Amino acid sequence: MTWASIAALVGIWGTTWAAIRIGLQGIPPLTGVALRFTIAGGALLALVPVFRVRLGATRRERLLWLCNAVFTFCISYSILYWAEQWVPSGLAAVLFATFPLFVALLAHFVLPEERLTWRGGLGILIGFAGVAVIFSEDFRTLMGPEVAFAAAVLLLCPLCSAIGSVAVKKWGSGIHPLSTAAIPMLLCGLTMGPIAWLTESDRVVTFTGPATWALLYLALIGSAFPFTLYFWLLRHNSATRMSLINYAVPVVAVIVGHFAFG
C-alpha cells in the first residue's frame, strides 16, 4: 500500500462530498446516482478490452458483482445523495468515518484472517473519537429536525459500504479490479435509472454548468479511477486497514466544503 495511492484516494474522495451537493442543485438525488454510475461504469467497461479482462468467468465473480452493486453503490449512494440534500458535506464525511467501525466488526465474523483484537478495536475507536472531536463543531448543524433525521439515516451508508468492502475482500481474490468496479457500477446505474424515473418524475432536472461538471467529476474522477484503485489495494491489504483512510477523508471534505459553500 503506497502513500501515493492513499493520498490519491483521500484527496479525491475528500472532494466528492462537496461535488455531490453542487450536483444536487440541478440534478435530483437518485437521478444523480443513476447518471454518475452509468457514466463511470461505461467508462471502465470501455477499458476492459484494452486490458484484456475476462468478465464473469466464475459464479463467484458474478455474485460479487451483485453484492457490490447493491451495497457499495445502489443503497449506499442513494442514501448519501438523499441525505446530502440537508446534511452539510463536511458533516456527511465525518458521519461516514464510522465506516472503519463497521468494517472491523463485519471482518471479525466474515474474514478469519481479520479477527478483531481488543487493541485493534480500541485503536479504531480512538481514531473515530479523534475525528469526532476535531470536527465537533460540525455536529452543531444537527439541531434542525430534518438535518438530524437525514444524518441518522445516513449512518446506513457506511454500513452498506462496509458490507460491500468485506464482500470484495472475501470473494474478490483473483478478480481484476476493473471487473470488480465496472460491472457493479453499470448495474447500479441501470437499476437506479428506472427507480429515479418512477420516484422523481415530478422533479426538474437542470443540467446547469456547475451541476454538469460536478456529475462528470463524480463519475470519472470521483468513481471510475478511485474505486478501481481501492479494489486493487484491497486485494493486497486487509479490509480493516484499508478502511482507515476514511479517518483522513473528512479533513479534505471539511476544507473543500468551507471554500465551496462558506
More confident residue, 32 or 261: 32
End-to-end CA distance of the chain: 35
Per-residue pLDDT at 34: 98
pLDDT of 88 reads: 86
User: What's the pTM?
Assistant: 0.94
Rounded Cα–Cα distance for residues 137 and 77 (Å): 25
Residue 52 cell numbers, joined: 484484456
* pLDDT score of 35 more than 90: yes
107-to-34, 62, 63, 192, 247 alpha-carbon distances in Å: 29, 21, 18, 28, 18
Residue 96, H or E segment: helix 89-96
The pLDDT tens digits for 120-164 are 888 888 888 878 776 666 666 667 788 889 999 999 999 999 999
Tell me if 35 sits within 8 A of 152, measured CB to CB.
no
- By the 8 A CB rule, do 135 and 60 touch? no
